Amino acid sequence: MNKKLLWLVFALTTATQAALSSPVTSSPLELKPVVQQAQAARLSAGILSRYDYRALPLDDALSEKIFDSYLKILDSEKIFFVQSDIDQWASFRTRLDDAILNENLNIPFAMFNRYAQRATDRFAYARSLLKDGFDFQKKESYQYSREKETWPKSEADARELWRKRVKNDWLRLKLAGKDDKSIADTLDKRYEHSQKRITQLKNEDAFQVFMNAYTMAIEPHTNYMGLRAAEDFDISMRLSLFGIGAVLSEKNEYTTIRELVPGGPAALSGQLNVGDRILGVAQGEKGELIDVQGLRLDDTVALIRGAADSVVVLDVLPAEANPDGKHLKVPLIRKKISLEEQSAKKSIIPVSDGNVTRRIGVITLPSFYEDFEARQKSDPSYKSATRDVARLLNELKKENVDSVLIDLRNNGGGSLTEAVALTGLFIDKGPVVQQRTAQGKISVESDTKAGVAWDGPLGVLINRGSASASEIFAAAIQDYGRGLIIGEKSFGKGTVQTMLDLDQIAKNDKPKYGELKMTIAQFFRINGGTTQLRGVTPDIPFPSIHDDEEFGESSYDNALPWVQIKALDYSPVGDLSTLRPKLLSRLEARVKNNKDYQYLQEDVAEFDRLRKKNQISLNETERRKEREAQEARLKARKVGKDDTPEDPMTNRDDGLQADERNLTKDLAAEKARKSAKDVLLDEAAHVLSDQVDLLDSSTKLTNGMPRTTKPVALSTPE
């Protein structure tokens, strides 16, 4: 599912982790479609049925797929609806196409409203269970994943599912050492908050969910974006926005400052601190304060963002103040905020091998970002992943690294232009990727700039979360024999999307329709294969915690198939195939003595076992035994230079959700996670050190991977 699929699915997911239903105690506001939404749906249908890569007519057959897709988004775990809901909607299966074409969205909105009512009822039931507590001596279990199950046959069956969910929530807190009163209070607030989220849903939420059910029924990566979602996508690509420079989160009904961006207006004001709560927002120093306590986080954020150099005033309750404490009025001038945390970063890992220590330069790239608008305006400082990586490579060369590792783990892609340009930093001209349109027209994207930014040993670290542009880059590096691909098999997204502004197409004076992210082509490797469905297979594989049926392109029922076209005429710069057996042999020998790697393998095996089991005991004695066994296993591990035991409390389940934890402790835990030893990154560095060792020190690398015979000037993409 698309990460930007909206606030509702975020609310739904949070709700799913809690508990649900029972007698109706309140009804959420009935949502109704507006004319512009029906018009946007009809316009989208006209475009998608003609121009999408998998252009499907909007007919009864597609309507059935939309119906199933819609239910999956609303109730993937089958815990809200009951079978009678599905039976009642039997005639809707072939009427959703008519709803779009006739500009009458009453049916999909009726389904959404039923979801909201069911969810409200479920949470009411969850709260009603808290007054009596639970019998934890009883032998019963809880199934924590129900995606492949059927809907409950009756309300009684639904309540039984929720009883077990609530019981599991209670038991988690009990095992974490909480007493019954604090457990009941915590869960009641949790479920009440989830109920409130349902009441805050808007017709824009319902429309976006339905439209994504439509678009994703065609192809998994075709999406609809409302105005706010489109803005967020824009920000993620250019890595900048106009605002105050604060990361906000929701805690106990308050919009809370989680982080201050260095150099931003909030940090420079000297008046704001982490933990401060924002109670109101005004536009301009004389503007009226709008109360934001209890408001949806995205609505509060929208009020705080604004035009460059405009003034926003915050009504702030300091972190240390009581709820009735003194407020501060803090005026701030909005400025351009660069999201540097999401930019490319470098580090150096020293690897000792006998008496030799090699320096492996690591560049971590979270996405293939590019500020399209700034580039079109010829802004000399426009933000670009390739420009940043080129600069970092120059710095690493000055620091005399022996090899470079590009870390693309969990890099979901981004700009195709950036993927091609980034490849050009490591190859001296040549094709990078092929694109084929639905009409069969094939085009080639090539690196046309002479010279490279780095001509030494290279590795690319990927995992199942590496997708799209990451796969284009990794595949090109592999096909050219330019570097080693290390890690897990990648996601398998081999399609190309483009953004279409529906308001521009409709020639609207003001934005009201949103945008389409539409699949327009499929990309192919220069060797003729595609990464679609199969992904990029690493040369040096690492343990994987992912199940291909649950995550990755192969988890989609309607993913495009793997196909092959004619290979391009290209000249590999190396052949690392003869090195591979030696590197694998060294890896196998080394990890036998690497406790951290062995622990990781154990954890992967345990995670896989639990995933397949899909059941957890609700008997307290059994759960305590399971926890004690797990903690004993962790305690037996020796970590650190002094071989001290691992602290099992570090990973102990506290039973809390993110917004329920103490902010200071939560930030400390987050910092600890970020600074924890990265076993796979460390092992990838050792693999590259082995590669350097196996290559000769002459002007040409062994196995045909040449170094340049003279220095090449570093050129950044225009």
**Cα distance between residue 541 and residue 409, in whole Å:** 14
Mapped onto helix, strand or coil, the DSSP state of residue 363 is strand
**Cα distance between residue 436 and residue 442, in whole Å:** 4
Kindly report the three-state secondary structure assignment for every residue of 81-141: CCHHHHHHCHHHHHCHHHHHHCCCCHHHHHHHHHHHHHHHHHHHHHHHHHHCCCCCCCCCE
What would the two tokens of residue 712 be? Answer: 């090449």
Mapped onto helix, strand or coil, the DSSP state of residue 331 is strand
Residue 53: closest CA among 222, 224, 212, 213: 222
User: What number of helices (H) and strands (E) belong to the chain?
Assistant: 22, 23
Contact 61/94 with Cβ under 8 angstroms?
Answer: no
Dihedrals phi, psi of 395, to nearest 5 degrees: -65, -40
- Contacts for 251-260: CB closer than 8 Å, 24+ residues apart: 251/277, 251/659, 251/663, 252/189, 252/659, 253/193, 253/293, 253/294, 254/278, 254/279, 254/293, 254/317, 255/292, 255/293, 255/295, 255/297, 255/300, 256/663, 258/663, 258/667
**Cα distance between residue 352 and residue 693, in whole Å:** 12
Q: At what angle do helices 469-479 and 416-424 cross, to 10 degrees?
A: 30
Give per-residue burial for 310-346: e unless 16+ CB within 10 Å, then b: eebbbbbbbeeeeeeeebeebebebbebbbeeebbeb
Burial tier of 572 (Cβ tally within 10 Å: 0-12, 13-18, 19+): middle
User: Among all residues, which ones are annotated catalytic?
Assistant: 468, 479, 493
How far from 654 is each of 165, 178, 367, 662, CA to CA, in Å? 16, 9, 32, 12
**Cα distance between residue 160 and residue 162, in whole Å:** 5
Please state the length of the chain. 718
